[in-house]
Structure 1
Amino acid sequence: MQFKEYQTQILVVGAGLAGISAGIEAAEAGSEVTISTAAHFCSGSSFYPGTWGLGMIAPLDQGDKADLLQSIDRVGSGIADLILAEVLVDKIETRIAELEELGVKFKKPDNVKADNSLIPCFDNKHRKWFGYTFKSARPAFRQKIEELGIGVLEKTEIIKLIVKDNKFQAALALDQDNNLILIKAQAVVLASGGIGGLYQHSLNTSDLNGYGQVMALDAGCKLTNVEFIQFIPGYLKPNYKTIFNERTFAYAELSDQNGNDILDKYLPAEYDEEEILKKRAAHGPFSSRLETKYVDLALFKEYLKNDQEDFYNLSYKEEIKDSDSLMIKEYFDWLEKEKGITTADPISIVPFEHASNGGILIDQKAQTGVEGILAAGEITGGMHGADRIGGLATANSLVFGQIAGQTAAAYAAESSSAAEKITETELEAEIKTYLNKINFELEAPKKEIAELRQIIWENASILRSEKSLNEILTKIKNLNAMVKTKSSSDLNLTTQVADLRTKIKLKNYLSLAEALTKAMLLRKESRGSHFREDYPNETKEYKKNIVISRENSQLKTEWVALNKGGL
């Protein structure tokens, strides 16, 4: 069997803020570090090109920490891991200061309390606000990793984690030329982001495909809260996948193809449309907790029933030009300069998948329960609960990326070389077994992947029900029947590796889709970002977490008591 070999102490999977933070921290602790990324250095949600930058928040002062923690619990609908959240709140500002020392510049309003548009999404008060811009971050991070001698494997997709006796041993990867690479390391930090690629419409880069979650599950890690996924409005046109600024809802008019008011059809009579749109302007993501959910549901339902080619549903009132909101001014300046869109242009928006609140279960040291496997950033779950306050996802990546790097370096220093504990024969057997599972009859299944992504978006985004979710499980069952392994047990890498990427994607998407769908079915209530049309209310019975594991190749879902200490 032909594959290249690569050796390092710490392998970091993902080159966004969490991965870069982990890599820098581990290298500064003296470890040899390699960062791998399926795209390029500085990628993922941390550098999404569909927006100008990202906001981060921190407590106003020491006394505000307890209040922010209480808000995380409230917004998370009571199921956030408060031990993880406390670590986050305590370390946010220190991490931001450390980035500034690297040369990353932040926008900082002179008087944050004077601008209500800077109140974080779902929060009830002002916090310290920092506008993180990509332009200054990229060169600062590049310079730092070069100073530390951190290796970077760009366009290298990690496809399998190899574990023996509950200890990480190595990772299998595909490089940009479709060469297999066996990466031997003592520890791995998974920081490859969320699951956006599984959805037909997502505001993520293509490298956010959920592979890290699937590999972790297969390696013995657990997932939690995967049913909680944030959806925010995004542009269908013009400029597909541009992020819509929710603050502009206060000036928006929503209409169907015939010019009729959309909200007239879906908004209950007791609500005033203008007031609902003003309230919707206060937060980006959809939430079943709030009466503003009717705006997103109206947009979604209208899209599904209309001719999508001629679908424009939003225009702005003239008053938007007089807005003194920093967030709105910055947004439209960027939008016109980078995308050629002005306030006068009609647009088409729908709810796009944006971010995962659930993922790999970790403790406060970023440990997963499998020795040598750490995780940080959006790939992890539990910290935020059912909804997430705006500005904390980026902060989470900074704080727990650093912690994962520290833990990985300490583990590598204390343990003997993990790669020595598995023989070359065992490694080859692991690789061969994995590849032969991908060697199924269906060739180049791009059509099947597209069909799966479409049904996931239509049936498991902001509008879910037992019927719609079971339709997904039926689709998964039918696709699984099409991907039976060939009778021949040897994959010819020379001739078939071109199809290997697509087959891996389908296999991973089927596994990920099953995990998400089963969790969504199990939670027979609406809570935060999880909305069940057949169970529209929140229920005390379900104030607990769903944890997913794999046992004997089968997914296992179980309820666990509120997890206040990670593992």
Structure 2
Amino acid sequence: MDEYDVVVVGAGGAGLRAAIEARERGARVAVICKSLFGKAHTVMAEGGIAASMGNANGSDDWQVHFRDTMRGGKFLNHPRMAELHAKEAPDRVWELETWGALFDRTADGRISQRNFGGHEYPRLAHVGDRTGLELIRTLQQKVVALQQADHRATGRKDPAGYESGLRIFQEYTVTRILKEGDRVSGVFGYVRESGEFFAIAAPAVVLATGGIGKSFKVTSNSWEYTGDGHALALLAGARLLNMEFVQFHPTGMVWPPSVKGILVTESVRGDGGVLRNSDGRRFMFDYVPDVFRPQYAETEEEADGWYADPAANRRPPELLPRDEVARAINSEVKAGRGTPHGGVYLDVSSRLPAEEIIRRLPSMHHQFRELADVDITKEPMEVGPTCHYVMGGVEVDPDTAASPAVPGLFAAGEVAGGMHGANRLGGNSLSDLLVFGRRAGLHAAAYATGLTERPAVAEEQLAAARAEALAPFGDGGEHPYALHQELQQTMNDLVGIIRRAGEVKQALERLAELRDRAARVGVEGHRQFNPGWHLALDLRNMLLVSECVARAALLRRESRGGHTREDWPAMDRDWRRSNLVCGLSGESVEVVRQPLPALRPDLLALFDRTELAKYFTPEELTDEHA
């Protein structure tokens, strides 16, 4: 059995940043990735990295970024996480540049920053519309540099990094976190190609597995996003918070059916794209919530003038936070003003010349030309909401990214909860994973190397994990693909962008039935090259996490951010004070309310009192100021 100080599960931006930090702190690190190294879902985050560097507007600073993040999250964000994120994001971007990231530049040579929904100033450092790809490329190169440094130090030249203090395990899947008592002792899983089992002993595990989108039928997420880290944490005794808040990105492709749900980056709207219904009307002016009205334009003339003079005009309503835009599109389609394929039109061709579109949005130009036979320099795109991101995740300490319930367990990126509250602003995902990926790696290394005695891996746990993984090869009759399709349809139809109590209860009944049937799932063949077996194991995770989403959605009787209840359409101040936290009691998911940390007076003072009155009672404001 291999032994390391830190095991990082996931090789996207958060996982690689954690691994780099842990290795630089002297820890021996194993990185486990479900697919090939470099094929991380982070590459889908195309628009940019949100950081208040002030390159586009000198008035931007961390306080403004913090304020935007809290507003976008409808004041359910953990304030300490939002503060750390806003303060440290610029350093993480500059750090990437020193590691070789090639950002777009301003005319005077600074890192260029673009507009994005919910951000007061142009704030997203970007590489065209391929920022996530550049981030992963840069972090990969840093990992390779660290491995090469290890090789030089040891005199070995193993290109795979086996003799390095930082090793990558490609196409491996973790099925269980191992523990001794309440402490992490390692991980167990299987090699996807051969089906062989593996175990790694390590006192610290960093979860960086991303999201849960494959539980939904229409999603921008790739096949890896089956809620692995969320479920692993639950099964290890950790808790999940804010699971009712699932972000439906307003712009996914809707046609042809084979590509439905694929992301259309917010960069299109950030660079001037407008949304129109089937009547050709810019409808977003009808959907600006009262709380945002002072910041957003009321006429097309004012909206268009903002690009030329942001100081003189209010922002276009297409740059509202994602939850607002997604609900607006959904409403237009339901009202019969959608496109022939059930979306709306996103038009950038009437706003920018063709050469500028190709320069700024090369991936989108290629994507629509190749997948939909649409030239976005001449024609509008058809877009609609797609399941994109989950704001909920593992409950962690803001400063250390450590689970308070399971010593040795850490989480960063989309799998961690608290940072984004009820809704994430575009661009905050990449800065989030850099800021908290670094913190997770730092504190995981400190925890592991500071132990005087390491927890042991028990043979009984290994035997149980092996038996669990082999169970689908029994006499079960349920087909994993059929169960997965039923799960996706259930979540899409009953716990989707608009929720109702009766439908969510119906979803819970179906999920209970699916969990029972999943226990009887059967696969054929050998463990080698067996995707049906892989899916059978993933179903455990998707069903667990889907139940957390549904139970929390039923309990939160209000509409806020990514959670919209048609039967409770307004925000409720009482619910602003509470997070919903999911845990396992035996095999049952339990959800409880937990008080949200108070905002410090200096942070509260960053907001206008009139705005705060929409979220806080007068007594709460007095208490929190005190």
TM-score interval for Structure 1 and Structure 2 normalised by the shorter chain: 0.7 to 0.9
- More moved, 315-324 vs 364-373: 315-324
- Following superposition of structure 1 onto structure 2, how do residues 261-280 of structure 1 map, counting pairs within 5 Å? 279-280=316-317
Match of 1:187 among 204, 229, 235: 204
Question: Where do 5+ consecutive residues of structure 2 fail to align?
Answer: 148-165, 291-296, 305-315, 370-374, 600-626
- Following superposition of structure 1 onto structure 2, how do residues 429-448 of structure 1 map, counting pairs within 5 Å? 429-432=464-467, 435-436=470-471, 441-448=476-483
* CA offsets 1:58-108 (integer angstroms, 9 cap, x no match): 253798323332332222212111111121122111111211111112224
Aligned partner of 1:557 in structure 2 is: 591
Q: Do the aligned residues in 2 keep the contact of 1:92 with 1:395 (CA within 8 Å)?
A: yes
Letter of the 1:87 counterpart:
L
Q: Do the aligned residues in 2 keep the contact of 1:47 with 1:53 (CA within 8 Å)?
A: no
For the pair 1:148 / 2:183, whether they are aligned, the reply is no
Q: Following the alignment from structure 1 to structure 2, what is the Cα–Cα distance between the partners of residues 497 and 188?
A: 27
Q: Following the alignment from structure 2 to structure 1, what is the Cα–Cα distance between the partners of residues 10 and 273?
A: 37
Change in CA separation of 1:276 and 1:26 when aligned onto 2, cut-off 3 Å: same
Shift of 1:30: 1.1
* CA offsets 1:485-531 (integer angstroms, 9 cap, x no match): 59x9xx99869976432221222211111100000111110011211
Shift of 1:323: 9.6
Q: Partner of 1:386: helix, strand, or coil? A: coil
* CA offsets 1:102-154 (integer angstroms, 9 cap, x no match): 111222445899x9x93432133344744473554444333322232321111
Aligned partner of 1:237 in structure 2 is: 255
- Following superposition of structure 1 onto structure 2, how do residues 213-292 of structure 1 map, counting pairs within 5 Å? 213-232=230-249, 233-238=251-256, 240=260, 241-244=262-265, 245-247=268-270, 251-255=274-278, 279-283=316-320, 285-287=322-324
Change in CA separation of 1:294 and 1:339 when aligned onto 2, cut-off 3 Å: closer
Aligned partner of 2:104 in structure 1 is: 107
Q: Do the aligned residues in 2 keep the contact of 1:81 with 1:383 (CA within 8 Å)?
A: yes
Match of 2:179 among 145, 156, 163: 163
Q: Following the alignment from structure 1 to structure 2, what is the Cα–Cα distance between the partners of residues 46 and 537?
A: 33
Shift of 1:196: 1.3
For the pair 1:40 / 2:36, whether they are aligned, the reply is yes
* CA offsets 1:317-347 (integer angstroms, 9 cap, x no match): 86324599x8x66554433345423243454
Q: Partner of 1:396: helix, strand, or coil? A: helix
Letter of the 1:133 counterpart:
T
Q: Following the alignment from structure 2 to structure 1, what is the Cα–Cα distance between the partners of residues 333 and 272?
A: 13
Q: Do the aligned residues in 1 keep the contact of 2:233 with 2:239 (CA within 8 Å)?
A: yes
Q: Partner of 1:381: helix, strand, or coil? A: coil
For the pair 1:388 / 2:388, whether they are aligned, the reply is no
* CA offsets 1:146-176 (integer angstroms, 9 cap, x no match): 2323211111111111223111112121212
Q: Following the alignment from structure 1 to structure 2, what is the Cα–Cα distance between the partners of residues 124 and 321?
A: 22
Q: Following the alignment from structure 2 to structure 1, what is the Cα–Cα distance between the partners of residues 360 and 464?
A: 53
Q: Do the aligned residues in 2 keep the contact of 1:76 with 1:384 (CA within 8 Å)?
A: yes
Match of 2:51 among 49, 54, 57: 57
Change in CA separation of 1:330 and 1:440 when aligned onto 2, cut-off 3 Å: farther
Q: Following the alignment from structure 1 to structure 2, what is the Cα–Cα distance between the partners of residues 318 and 62?
A: 31
Shift of 1:248: 7.4
Letter of the 2:451 counterpart:
S
Q: Partner of 1:73: helix, strand, or coil? A: helix
Q: Do the aligned residues in 2 keep the contact of 1:360 with 1:379 (CA within 8 Å)?
A: yes
Q: Do the aligned residues in 1 keep the contact of 2:72 with 2:321 (CA within 8 Å)?
A: no
Change in CA separation of 1:360 and 1:317 when aligned onto 2, cut-off 3 Å: closer
Aligned partner of 2:83 in structure 1 is: 86
Shift of 1:273: 9.7
Q: Do the aligned residues in 2 keep the contact of 1:438 with 1:504 (CA within 8 Å)?
A: no
Shift of 1:554: 1.4
- More moved, 195-204 vs 135-144: 135-144
* CA offsets 1:427-483 (integer angstroms, 9 cap, x no match): 324543565499672343201101211221222221111122122112112222323
Change in CA separation of 1:23 and 1:440 when aligned onto 2, cut-off 3 Å: farther
Change in CA separation of 1:102 and 1:429 when aligned onto 2, cut-off 3 Å: same
Change in CA separation of 1:476 and 1:466 when aligned onto 2, cut-off 3 Å: same
Q: Following the alignment from structure 1 to structure 2, what is the Cα–Cα distance between the partners of residues 450 and 59?
A: 44
Change in CA separation of 1:405 and 1:248 when aligned onto 2, cut-off 3 Å: closer
Q: Partner of 1:560: helix, strand, or coil? A: strand
Change in CA separation of 1:23 and 1:330 when aligned onto 2, cut-off 3 Å: same
Q: Following the alignment from structure 1 to structure 2, what is the Cα–Cα distance between the partners of residues 251 and 120?
A: 13
Q: Partner of 1:84: helix, strand, or coil? A: helix
Q: Following the alignment from structure 1 to structure 2, what is the Cα–Cα distance between the partners of residues 45 and 498?
A: 19
Match of 1:518 among 548, 551, 557: 551
- Following superposition of structure 1 onto structure 2, how do residues 369-518 of structure 1 map, counting pairs within 5 Å? 369=404, 370-416=406-452, 418=454, 421-432=456-467, 435-436=470-471, 441-484=476-519, 499-518=532-551
Q: Partner of 1:104: helix, strand, or coil? A: coil
Q: Partner of 1:418: helix, strand, or coil? A: coil
Aligned partner of 1:320 in structure 2 is: 351
- More moved, 527-536 vs 196-205: 196-205
Change in CA separation of 1:31 and 1:463 when aligned onto 2, cut-off 3 Å: same
Question: Where do 5+ consecutive residues of structure 1 fail to align?
Answer: none
Q: Following the alignment from structure 2 to structure 1, what is the Cα–Cα distance between the partners of residues 82 and 186?
A: 31
- Percentage identity across aligned positions? 24
Shift of 1:416: 4.5
Q: Following the alignment from structure 2 to structure 1, what is the Cα–Cα distance between the partners of residues 503 and 192?
A: 37
Q: Do the aligned residues in 2 keep the contact of 1:15 with 1:40 (CA within 8 Å)?
A: no
User: Taking structure 2 as the reference length, what is the TM-score of the superposition?
Assistant: 0.77
Q: Partner of 2:82: helix, strand, or coil? A: helix
Change in CA separation of 1:53 and 1:126 when aligned onto 2, cut-off 3 Å: closer
Q: Partner of 2:496: helix, strand, or coil? A: coil
Shift of 1:44: 3.1
Q: Following the alignment from structure 2 to structure 1, what is the Cα–Cα distance between the partners of residues 474 and 544?
A: 16
Task: Provide the alpha-carbon RMSD of the alignment.
Answer: 3.7
Match of 1:31 among 27, 30, 52: 27
Match of 2:189 among 152, 159, 173: 173
Match of 2:390 among 353, 356, 359: 356
User: Taking structure 1 as the reference length, what is the TM-score of the superposition?
Assistant: 0.84
Q: Do the aligned residues in 1 keep the contact of 2:72 with 2:425 (CA within 8 Å)?
A: yes
Q: Following the alignment from structure 2 to structure 1, what is the Cα–Cα distance between the partners of residues 92 and 101?
A: 11
Shift of 1:422: 3.4
The number of equivalent residue pairs is: 540
Q: Following the alignment from structure 2 to structure 1, what is the Cα–Cα distance between the partners of residues 547 and 555?
A: 12
Q: Do the aligned residues in 1 keep the contact of 2:132 with 2:430 (CA within 8 Å)?
A: no
Change in CA separation of 1:159 and 1:331 when aligned onto 2, cut-off 3 Å: farther
Letter of the 2:269 counterpart:
E
Match of 2:575 among 522, 537, 542: 542
Aligned partner of 2:215 in structure 1 is: 198
Q: Do the aligned residues in 2 keep the contact of 1:357 with 1:388 (CA within 8 Å)?
A: yes
Q: Partner of 1:74: helix, strand, or coil? A: helix
Letter of the 1:398 counterpart:
L
Change in CA separation of 1:134 and 1:520 when aligned onto 2, cut-off 3 Å: closer
- More moved, 245-254 vs 156-165: 245-254
Q: Do the aligned residues in 2 keep the contact of 1:248 with 1:281 (CA within 8 Å)?
A: no
